[in-house]
Structure 1
């Protein structure tokens, strides 16, 4: 209802329309009763014509009001869903990477699309329509008691078993819908993950096994839906039978009244019409309630996501226009799961303009260090500072604008090359892009593509080679002119010729900037001002390339192994 507040005028108008629709929909049997008992019985054709005109006017008014109710109910639902989806996506953007490490992408897709769309049905078809059905029942019962209280009690005699069956139906369907939503999330997660990794599936001839897994998950989805279909198939015949029994009792009792002269023909006709009107909203309420049940399940999931506290703490206010680039790690401890530390008592300092390199076996903690510097994760103990200010003091956006990152696994979005380089930043001109591309050595291959910078890249850059994607990531880092450069295995995915081409560009990129480099190829970091050797989250050695070789320790062994392999 918080999201309704900006549209409260439309909401109040919708309430009025709902009341008007309920009232107009229940007037017809009452007018017909008056027509029969007053005009027809007395042979008053003028009265019959007058009442007929009233009925036509009532139908026209009811049609117009019903149209407005349906339109504004849908309008309100769509705008509320728009606002919820924006807030939800904004919340997802602010979540820590730790959250994404353990949450399947398909689940988040389900939350942001399917679950939010369900709420649209709640506002457009569920809530307002259900209130209208309840009001219609109230008006029907009021008119029935006004016409004849005895016939009303006879008509209502089947209500207790109908309410009981509706309650049982509601509880069963709620449970089945929860299972359906869970199965949908599992399907989305499975399909998204395996479509992304389709090359792995096909390379290892794993199509049959993956199909079996999919069939198993799909079977769970089918089973959950069939269960809800079963409950519907039981409930509706029961409701129809009870409605028929109600009409049968009514006619039987009214027939005696007709014979005795205590019940008029108009009253009998009106009650038969009211009975039809009465059971229809009750059945519809069951449908609306199921929509609400789906909405409640979706709302519960959405609120759980929106209430997630795993947000990146962005309480810092320090936002300097530029940085010098002094970086210091002081007794830093870090664990992804708050139990097993991947970094243990890390201490080092980088002066502005220096280049520091990290080497070590896979899992030594190299990538974790650069993740911490970019505040993708927060440390458990210790202090990380830039230019003498704790990382927590910086405004997060201002901090990341000063840090350029080139990763080993380059991610490109579907769109033009220019969009992938600027990431939608309108302040970066095409001239700046071409200058950066020239520096990196990417200009030649970009010019050869159809459309140049406007060449449309497929999802994840599927139409470009690994080396080309890597070059684009270098251009992306260049155009933002960061003060701190992070290179994570930046040349590991390119061939020797391309590596030589961009190595000079890397030197220019790092010139005058603080640089943190992670590399498996030790030949690329020999010029670093200092090399830090990591093993199992701890610093084992530190020094220049020559110093570490003379020391004959861990680094010397790594260098010797790589030299022998080459």
Structure 2
């Protein structure tokens, strides 16, 4: 999974490659500018501050590099031009906190130094003592020897400030462009996830709660954003910093650089060890978070049911169990992070410093040691800088793993096979629908068996039957939410499988038993923001279905705001709005899914007349439980356990005296139903069973 996730993330990073590359170039420049500091310090110490102990020679020429002391002129040995004559050698040496002037050549300045009564004594490692007449330098005298070094030191300070300014500018640029790139990538990722959700087949959402889908689009993509902003910034800058540091270490001293390479395998093993446990915990943490979202979403949706059936304590217990499990695994992550935190970096850092000091020994820290004091200072400075990026990387390990797990969940959703969205459209078809020997199963068992019927343009076909008889499955097949395993479905003689799903649905309309209204206004719920449907068309649709009379009491009329699925409107008002929506889209095929089931008798009369307006000239399918609403249907199909057991008009089916007759009789009561098949209404003392 990690490889796939890594590749997918890299592909998304490439969408903002210019800004990412710019950020990384700025990062590299910033690192180089920052690492210039120790080299400048090395030069300052070795070439200027400690260089005062190098041999000086008397000279007659005077320039900016010569020293005037005690009526004589001297110049540092390494500053004489080729062929320039050198006079007598003198030395300036540090003894404790003071400096002394030796008017003689001193072949070896190593070893212990002491000064007393105008005599400098040097004791070598072999115990041999050398004595030289010397005089203690006053502050003025010492400054005379340092004066030629001042321009060089000032020049290095200016260079240090220049590099510092470059480093600050590059740090700002890197942070800005890296975050800008990350925001661009996440915007695209979130758009792609949302677009993919629109393409997922309807049956995918049968098994995945809305809260979990929401969690993928919001929480998980936000965690991926952290990956690009915090983790990527820290890891990229960390790796580039470490490369820069190692280059600097090897430039300063190859042996020291080789010694400090031991840090790399330790960090690699550390990351491998950490991710082994962290991935396991983070997968559970992310899963629990998405389950928590799902249960919150479900509880809010079903709050009235929870209250009515007094399920508050059980719901709370379910939530508490999930929340406790979430906390338990968060604590496991906490323990892991505490164990592998930056404290371990401090241990490695101290180990590295101890190794360097042990290898070179404190006794060597003088002007003629294996390495100069300037190199050692620069080395310790650079080595200290090695552990700053390591600390940054280690602190981001938790975010890295959490982000990778989240990214894996996002890409797993995007790997779900979707339906291609096809541009364009097809001309409005007539709406002649035919099912030929159609059999269909959601999983294993067939819910529709050998279904065959024909619905011609302008006809009304009613589907009746008990719950689970297959009525909704026929509609699902018609909308191509699913395709049948056997048989064919044709519209105007063309098999639906040969046409893009969006083209077919473009000329279909549906009115549900519990209509779904979106947040907006009543009018926007009719037009659904479709540019092809003008405000005038939307208003006419509302007037044609009679909704204008029912909505007249609302303060803003058709522009009245709709909130949370239209909870402030009555069932009848919501139903009329959905009728107007179907009419405005002018479908060739109209499906009415138990459209009058939730309507009171008074509103039903209005709805029935709206239905007549709506059905005119269209092929209409009605799923009905209330049989009184389908008396005028051209064809009634009676379904039982996935098969059509009876078909015909209302009168034909009553005359048949079969299943439809029994259902009708049960609904209307024996007093109103025909006493015997084919007979007229009979008066019977039997009470209405309903």
Give the TM-score normalised by structure 1: 0.94
SS in 2 for 1:382: strand
TM-superposed deviation, 1:85: 1.5
Q: Structure 2 CA distance, aligned partners of 1:482 and 1:161?
A: 68
> Is 1:272 matched with 2:281?
no
The equivalent of 2:451 in structure 1 is: 346
> After the TM superposition, which residues 457-536 of structure 1 pair with which residues of structure 2 at under 5 Å, given as runs?
457-536=562-641
Task: Evaluate the alpha carbon distance shift between residue 381 and residue 156 of structure 1 in structure 2; reply closer, same or farther with a 3 A threshold.
Answer: same
The one of 554, 557, 560 equivalent to 2:662 is 557
Are the aligned partners of 1:315 and 1:392 in contact in 2 as well (CA < 8 Å)? Answer: no
TM-superposed deviation, 1:329: 0.5
Are the aligned partners of 1:323 and 1:402 in contact in 2 as well (CA < 8 Å)? Answer: yes
Are the aligned partners of 1:170 and 1:286 in contact in 2 as well (CA < 8 Å)? Answer: no
Are the aligned partners of 2:639 and 2:645 in contact in 1 as well (CA < 8 Å)? Answer: yes
Are the aligned partners of 1:405 and 1:485 in contact in 2 as well (CA < 8 Å)? Answer: yes
The C-alpha deviation readout for 1:206-241, integer Å capped at 9, x for no partner, is 111111111111111112211111111111222222
SS in 2 for 1:410: coil
TM-superposed deviation, 1:342: 1.0
TM-superposed deviation, 1:456: 1.8
> Is 1:86 matched with 2:191?
yes
TM-superposed deviation, 1:156: 4.6
Are the aligned partners of 2:212 and 2:290 in contact in 1 as well (CA < 8 Å)? Answer: yes
Task: Evaluate the alpha carbon distance shift between residue 373 and residue 63 of structure 1 in structure 2; reply closer, same or farther with a 3 A threshold.
Answer: same
The equivalent of 2:47 in structure 1 is: 38
> After the TM superposition, which residues 65-214 of structure 1 pair with which residues of structure 2 at under 5 Å, given as runs?
65-157=170-262, 160-161=265-266, 163-214=268-319
User: Which stretch shifts more, 410-419 or 430-439?
Assistant: 430-439
The equivalent of 1:230 in structure 2 is: 335
SS in 2 for 1:97: coil
Task: Evaluate the alpha carbon distance shift between residue 152 and residue 7 of structure 1 in structure 2; reply closer, same or farther with a 3 A threshold.
Answer: closer
Are the aligned partners of 1:133 and 1:285 in contact in 2 as well (CA < 8 Å)? Answer: yes
Are the aligned partners of 1:151 and 1:254 in contact in 2 as well (CA < 8 Å)? Answer: no
User: Which stretch shifts more, 209-218 or 103-112?
Assistant: 103-112
The equivalent of 2:16 in structure 1 is: 7
Residue segments in structure 2 that go unaligned for 5+ positions in a row = 1-9, 53-145, 670-688
Q: Structure 2 CA distance, aligned partners of 1:271 and 1:115?
A: 43
> Is 1:387 matched with 2:492?
yes
> Is 1:258 matched with 2:365?
yes
Q: Structure 2 CA distance, aligned partners of 1:47 and 1:335?
A: 88
The one of 17, 20, 24 equivalent to 2:26 is 17
Q: Structure 2 CA distance, aligned partners of 1:182 and 1:49?
A: 60
Q: Structure 1 CA distance, aligned partners of 2:330 and 2:363?
A: 47
Are the aligned partners of 1:39 and 1:48 in contact in 2 as well (CA < 8 Å)? Answer: yes
The equivalent of 1:302 in structure 2 is: 410
TM-superposed deviation, 1:205: 1.1
TM-superposed deviation, 1:447: 3.2
Q: Structure 2 CA distance, aligned partners of 1:145 and 1:438?
A: 84
The equivalent of 1:365 in structure 2 is: 470
TM-superposed deviation, 1:251: 4.2
Number of residue pairs aligned between Structure 1 and Structure 2: 563
Q: Which has the higher contact order (CA 8 A, sep 6+)?
A: 1
The C-alpha deviation readout for 1:236-292, integer Å capped at 9, x for no partner, is 222222223333443454523215733322223222222221112122223444443
> Is 1:52 matched with 2:61?
no
The one of 245, 253, 278 equivalent to 2:351 is 245
TM-superposed deviation, 1:164: 3.5
User: Which stretch shifts more, 59-68 or 35-44?
Assistant: 35-44
Q: Structure 1 CA distance, aligned partners of 2:650 and 2:504?
A: 31
Are the aligned partners of 2:579 and 2:614 in contact in 1 as well (CA < 8 Å)? Answer: no
Q: Structure 2 CA distance, aligned partners of 1:167 and 1:95?
A: 36
The C-alpha deviation readout for 1:130-172, integer Å capped at 9, x for no partner, is 2221121112112112212344445455665555444322322
Q: Structure 2 CA distance, aligned partners of 1:170 and 1:351?
A: 63
TM-superposed deviation, 1:470: 1.3
The C-alpha deviation readout for 1:177-202, integer Å capped at 9, x for no partner, is 22221222211122112221111111
User: Which stretch shifts more, 443-452 or 509-518?
Assistant: 443-452
Q: Structure 1 CA distance, aligned partners of 2:11 and 2:28?
A: 23
Task: Evaluate the alpha carbon distance shift between residue 314 and residue 539 of structure 1 in structure 2; reply closer, same or farther with a 3 A threshold.
Answer: farther
The equivalent of 1:27 in structure 2 is: 36
Are the aligned partners of 1:359 and 1:520 in contact in 2 as well (CA < 8 Å)? Answer: yes
Q: Structure 2 CA distance, aligned partners of 1:143 and 1:88?
A: 45
Are the aligned partners of 2:638 and 2:644 in contact in 1 as well (CA < 8 Å)? Answer: yes
> Is 1:448 matched with 2:556?
no
SS in 2 for 1:353: coil
Q: Structure 2 CA distance, aligned partners of 1:201 and 1:25?
A: 62
SS in 2 for 1:2: helix
TM-superposed deviation, 1:5: 3.9
The C-alpha deviation readout for 1:95-148, integer Å capped at 9, x for no partner, is 111111111212211221222222222222333542221121112112112212
Larger Rg: 2
TM-superposed deviation, 1:444: 2.5
The C-alpha deviation readout for 1:485-541, integer Å capped at 9, x for no partner, is 110100001101001111011012112211111111111000111111001111110
Task: Evaluate the alpha carbon distance shift between residue 165 and residue 482 of structure 1 in structure 2; reply closer, same or farther with a 3 A threshold.
Answer: closer
Q: Structure 2 CA distance, aligned partners of 1:163 and 1:388?
A: 66
Q: CA RMSD in A?
A: 2.1
Task: Evaluate the alpha carbon distance shift between residue 266 and residue 174 of structure 1 in structure 2; reply closer, same or farther with a 3 A threshold.
Answer: farther
Are the aligned partners of 2:278 and 2:333 in contact in 1 as well (CA < 8 Å)? Answer: yes
Q: Structure 1 CA distance, aligned partners of 2:270 and 2:23?
A: 31
The equivalent of 2:122 in structure 1 is: none
Are the aligned partners of 2:15 and 2:185 in contact in 1 as well (CA < 8 Å)? Answer: no
Residue segments in structure 1 that go unaligned for 5+ positions in a row = none
